[in-house]
Amino acid sequence: SAVISQKPSRDICQRGTSLTIQCQVDSQVTMMFWYRQQPGQSLTLIATANQGSEATYESGFVIDKFPISRPNLTFSTLTVSNMSPEDSSIYLCSVEEGALGGYTFGSGTRLTVV
Amino acid sequence: DQQVKQNSPSLSVQEGRISILNCDYTNSMFDYFLWYKKYPAEGPTFLISISSIKDKNEDGRFTVFLNKSAKHLSLHIVPSQPGDSAVYFCAASVGNAGNMLTFGGGTRLMVKP
């Protein structure tokens, strides 16, 4: 199965600044997903990133707030822009390995906005 | 090194029968375990959890069993329904206060009518 390197693992950021989270995969994958882990252990899908096309955002998430890059089949970034304390959360990337393949999750980024 | 493993990538079960999904972990620090269900084109939704102080937790048709000595947990679905067809992830964390989750690779369950 794929191995994902997600960075940073944690950060404390000032209100109004931006943080870019990176996920590097050790193999080529078509679809990468970005999630936010919320209290109560629920996972919310932010967007799906396919290489060579615009990311698809879920309801409640917009590109201006969470711009995503997918420059190739092994890498993606999620930026949390103009941060507020409400953005404090754990952010996860994930990949699906083929239509019937398994899933791999990154190790997560714990973001605290002060 | 995968700390949480789901060794069966897929499972096919007849409607009405029991579905058993298995998960193994290696990190003895994990003390909180969760199961998520994922339909295509959707994010995973939380299903059921168990703390390491218990060995069983039941919620309707879903029961999770934890064997700490074997570092093994399983999800039982009884009776299985076609709507249960989805990918199931197990996840583990140290503590349950919104801590980082470590996920297994998922098991694709197909319940046949």
pLDDT tens sequence across B74-101 = 999 999 999 999 999 999 988 876 678 8
Q: Which two tokens stand for residue B16?
A: 């009405």
**Contact of A36 with A46, CB cutoff 8 Å:** yes
Q: pLDDT at position A25, please?
A: 95
Task: Give Cα separations from B3 to B19, B23, B55, B90, B91 (angstroms).
Answer: 24, 10, 20, 11, 10
Distance from CA of A43 to the nearest CA of B (A): 6
d(CA B70, CA B48): 20
Name the closest residue on chain A to residue B40, using Cα atoms. Answer: A99
- How high is the pLDDT of residue A37? 87
Percentage of residues in chain A having pLDDT higher than 70: 94
Q: Quick one: pLDDT band at residue A52, thresholds 50, 70, 90?
A: confident
B7 Cβ contact list (under 8 Å, min separation 6): B22, B24
For the cut 90, the answer to whether the pLDDT of residue A69 exceeds it is yes
Q: What's the confidence (pLDDT) of residue A38?
A: 75
pLDDT confidence of residue A99? 59
pLDDT digits (tens, 9 = 90+) for A100-114: 567 888 989 999 999
Nearest chain A residue to B7, by CA: A102
Q: How far is A112 from chain B (nearest CA, A)?
A: 13
Partners of residue B92 on adjacent β-strands: B33, B102
Asked if A2 is an interface residue toward chain B (Cβ–Cβ < 8 A), one would say no
Region label for B105, one of left (φ > 0), alpha (ψ between -120 and 50) or beta (otherwise): alpha
Interface of B with A in 17-46 (CB under 8 A): 34, 36, 38, 42-46
CB spacing of A103 vs B42 below 8 angstroms: no
